[in-house]
């Protein structure tokens, strides 16, 4: 073997050091770096463990047991010390605070003094007194903090804080990040609409049955994030967050972008007259994305018209498709456009969704030949107002009515 980087057999892995508590002590799974000639069976023999235990700690190898030189395989540790890989800007004090260990003990077990310097990539031993259930994760290609938070079902802000990162800050392949204790994150709420689904990039199912996977888009000449968000039916803010981008980010031709793909299952209704009650943040905004054309049916009169969602984040900002559609709306509201709300059904792609609408045209307009100077508001379950992010009681009552509640 001429070089350490030479491939033995094609394969990939995650490098993570997992901490678990047993009988009052903290034991760690340690990382084994694959060398030339290694196989999973040989590694199991080296660490006096079973092949099944190796598979349990490295489930990605069940489907493909192939290894690369330099890849990491997690193996059981019999000791009460855990390994920690120093990352940029780390100090012993920062590490002791992150992992909840005594600074003096951390220095002692590593033969350090208060004035000792540590460097990125250095391996430190962590005393067993730690109570924090943390893990280290080696960043993979195309990872962003948001994607990693979804992989481990942790709060994005806590992940950023733990690693001294800022929103939109670049991370690089091979970088070591700390993952927060998941048990402390279960009670943490995230107000971002893109984090309410609790999915990961392998494809996961939320409590509402929504499934999310990811695809990749290669940036071409003329691409911009706004148009890509419309093309793929993904909120602009979510697309930025998934890819670790900001409003000032510049796309490069050939750049790889991660695109979430949502599958929202059909929900039962009390009867054919009613619509599905789809949560705006985790379901409806993906069924009715910006750019979508659909039919709106007034729940009381049965009158219907065509409309298009042209913008909107907290709810759907919508415009009648034609002047005829605008005229039908005016008739439904008694001859005048109004802020008054009405229960409606949105028919889209063969589905019927419970919603609520007002009809007064206001603010931004994209369709210019429809005799409607602006857009109107279309609310779904748990949609909120743009102005203050709060729920609108009238709209929500209408949504429930259209849903048969």
Is residue 217 included in any domain, yes or no?
A: yes
Q: Are residues 177 and 30 in the same domain?
A: yes
pLDDT tens for residues 77-117?
Answer: 544 566 788 888 788 887 776 666 667 778 887 888 877 88
- What percentage of the chain has pLDDT greater than the value 70? 79
pLDDT value of position 170: 77
Q: Are residues 23 and 166 in the same domain?
A: yes
Is residue 340 included in any domain, yes or no?
A: yes
When pLDDT is averaged across residues 197-202 and rounded to a whole number, the result is: 38
Is residue 190 included in any domain, yes or no?
A: no
pLDDT value of position 17: 31
Question: For residue 11, what pLDDT band results from cuts at 50, 70 and 90?
Answer: very low
pLDDT tens for residues 29-63?
Answer: 667 788 888 888 888 777 766 677 787 777 777 77
Is residue 270 included in any domain, yes or no?
A: no
pLDDT value of position 190: 38
pLDDT value of position 145: 83
pLDDT value of position 130: 39
Domain boundary among 183, 210, 229: 183
pLDDT value of position 39: 86
Domain boundary among 229, 263, 297: 263
Q: Are residues 212 and 341 in the same domain?
A: no
> Who wins on pLDDT, 400 or 199?
400
Q: Are residues 248 and 306 in the same domain?
A: no
- What percentage of the chain has pLDDT greater than the value 90? 38
**Which of 24-33, 141-150, 205-214, 240-249 comes out lowest in average pLDDT?**
24-33
pLDDT value of position 284: 96
Q: Are residues 39 and 163 in the same domain?
A: yes
Name the token pair of 294: 């659909």
Question: For residue 270, what pLDDT band results from cuts at 50, 70 and 90?
Answer: very high
Q: What domain count does the chain have?
A: 3
When pLDDT is averaged across residues 308-330 and rounded to a whole number, the result is: 96
Q: Is 12 a residue whose pLDDT tops 70?
A: no
> Who wins on pLDDT, 358 or 136?
358
Range of the structural domain that residue 70 is part of: 16-183
When pLDDT is averaged across residues 285-311 and rounded to a whole number, the result is: 96
Q: Are residues 52 and 161 in the same domain?
A: yes
Distance CA 176, CA 140 (A): 10
Is residue 122 included in any domain, yes or no?
A: yes
Is residue 188 included in any domain, yes or no?
A: no
pLDDT value of position 294: 97
**Which of 19-23, 318-322, 376-380 comes out lowest in average pLDDT?**
19-23
Domain boundary among 263, 293, 316: 263
pLDDT tens for residues 115-128?
Answer: 788 988 888 887 75
Q: Are residues 125 and 215 in the same domain?
A: no
Q: Are residues 27 and 171 in the same domain?
A: yes
**Which of 162-166, 302-306, 314-318 comes out lowest in average pLDDT?**
162-166
Distance CA 343, CA 401 (A): 7
Question: For residue 382, what pLDDT band results from cuts at 50, 70 and 90?
Answer: very high
Distance CA 142, CA 140 (A): 6
Q: Are residues 60 and 209 in the same domain?
A: no
Distance CA 380, CA 346 (A): 10
CATH number at residue 65: 3.10.350.10
**Which of 163-177, 256-270, 379-393 comes out lowest in average pLDDT?**
163-177
When pLDDT is averaged across residues 265-283 and rounded to a whole number, the result is: 94
Is residue 4 included in any domain, yes or no?
A: no
> Who wins on pLDDT, 48 or 397?
397
pLDDT value of position 97: 67
> Who wins on pLDDT, 161 or 195?
161
Decide: 156 and 190 in contact? Cβ < 8 Å. yes
Q: Are residues 134 and 51 in the same domain?
A: yes
Q: Are residues 259 and 291 in the same domain?
A: no
| Mean predicted lDDT score pLDDT of the chain | 79
pLDDT tens for residues 136-191?
Answer: 777 887 778 887 877 777 778 778 877 777 776 778 877 877 777 654 444 333 33
Q: Are residues 313 and 377 in the same domain?
A: yes
Is residue 150 included in any domain, yes or no?
A: yes
pLDDT value of position 328: 98
């Amino acid at each position: 073997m001429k070089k350490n980087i030479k491939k033995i057999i094609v394969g990939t892995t995650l490098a993570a050091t997992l901490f678990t508590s047993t009988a009052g002590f903290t034991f760690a799974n340690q990382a084994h770096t694959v060398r030339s000639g290694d196989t999973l069976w040989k590694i199991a023999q080296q660490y006096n463990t079973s092949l099944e235990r190796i598979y349990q700690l490295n489930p990605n190898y069940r489907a493909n047991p192939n290894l690369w030189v330099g890849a990491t395989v997690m193996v059981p540790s019999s000791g009460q010390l855990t390994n920690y890989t120093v990352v940029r800007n780390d100090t012993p004090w920062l590490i002791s605070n992150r992992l909840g260990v005594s600074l003096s003990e951390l220095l002692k077990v590593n033969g350090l003094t208060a004035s000792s310097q540590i460097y990125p990539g250095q391996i430190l031993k962590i005393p067993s007194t730690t109570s924090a259930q943390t893990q280290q994760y080696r960043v993979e290609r195309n990872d962003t903090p948001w994607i990693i938070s979804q992989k481990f079902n942790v709060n994005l802000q806590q992940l950023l804080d733990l690693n001294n990162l800022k929103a939109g800050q670049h991370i690089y392949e091979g970088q070591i990040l700390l993952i927060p204790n998941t048990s402390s994150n279960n009670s943490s709420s995230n107000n971002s609409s893109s984090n309410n689904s609790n999915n990961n990039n392998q494809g996961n199912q939320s409590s509402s049955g929504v499934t999310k996977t990811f695809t990749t888009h290669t940036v071409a000449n003329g691409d911009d994030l706004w148009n890509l968000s419309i093309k793929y039916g993904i909120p602009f803010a979510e697309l930025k967050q998934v890819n670790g981008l900001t409003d000032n980010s510049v796309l490069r031709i050939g750049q790889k972008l991660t695109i979430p793909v949502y599958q929202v299952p059909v929900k039962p209704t009390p009867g054919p007259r009613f619509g599905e009650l789809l949560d705006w943040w985790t379901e409806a905004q993906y069924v009715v994305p910006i750019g979508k054309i659909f039919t709106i049916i007034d729940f009381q009169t049965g009158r219907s018209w065509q409309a298009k969602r042209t913008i909107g984040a907290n709810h759907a900002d919508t415009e009648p498709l034609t002047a005829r559609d605008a005229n039908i709306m005016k008739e439904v509201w008694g001859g005048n456009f109004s802020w008054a709300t009405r229960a409606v059904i949105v028919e889209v792609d063969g589905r019927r969704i419970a919603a609520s609408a007002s009809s007064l045209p206001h603010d931004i307009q994209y369709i210019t030949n429809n005799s409607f100077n602006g857009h109107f508001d279309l609310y779904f379950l748990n949609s909120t107002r743009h102005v203050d992010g709060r729920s609108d009681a009238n709209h929500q009552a209408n949504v429930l009515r259209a849903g048969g509640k």
